[in-house]
Structure 1
């Protein structure tokens, strides 16, 4: 999958959460919070079109933009990239890093234990 920048990911989040949107709707949804004008939003949309992360279809004289990349595929790619770059593709060092540098809540510890138990039961 083509790399999506942080700014582009905000456009994608709007489309993933709200469905197909016009450029004006994206400006209203994302642009205002980021203090981006219509030109900036359209530049980001055009980048995403070139990367084939978005598709454009004309409806009623307006372009509607819809996601061609699922949020799950994006998150999986970004997560794997982080693991590969910083932790040699290993999950355990990532978890250890967070556990050492940020206190895990009892709920997080319980979720991790449940995930490990689930993976162990799947292996049997």
Structure 2
């Protein structure tokens, strides 16, 4: 399932707290994005049509919750990035990031710990 950048902002709000009404989502994301409430509702409808979120009636409004797990989304997006830009290989991505941005000592320690976890 392909989620646009704008739609991912809505998903982020729902992954943080659920369920939320359209008004709650709008209050959380609209101002920071420069969106109207109508834009937020359009994005919600797109996500409903894609099956990424579900809705349940709560009186005169609907409450929305994610059906797409954040972990699954992050995995798919990460793999897509690796495939598109680095032929599916992780080492060139890490190399690029280390050259483009200064790695902190904490970053280096985390990477070493991850690598040690892969070694027999």
Same fold (TM over 0.5): yes
1:53 and 1:29 mapped to 2: Cα distance? 19
1:37 and 1:100 mapped to 2: Cα distance? 39
2:34 and 2:110 mapped to 1: Cα distance? 37
Other-structure match for 2:15: 16
Provide the TM-score with structure 2 as the length reference.
Answer: 0.96
1:119 and 1:59 mapped to 2: Cα distance? 48
Other-structure match for 2:112: 113
Provide the TM-score with structure 1 as the length reference.
Answer: 0.93
Shift of residue 61, structure 1, vs aligned partner: 2.4
Paired residue secondary structure (2:93): helix
String of CA shifts for 1:62-92, please: whole Å, max 9, x gaps: 1011100011111111100000000000000
Structural RMSD (CA)? 0.8
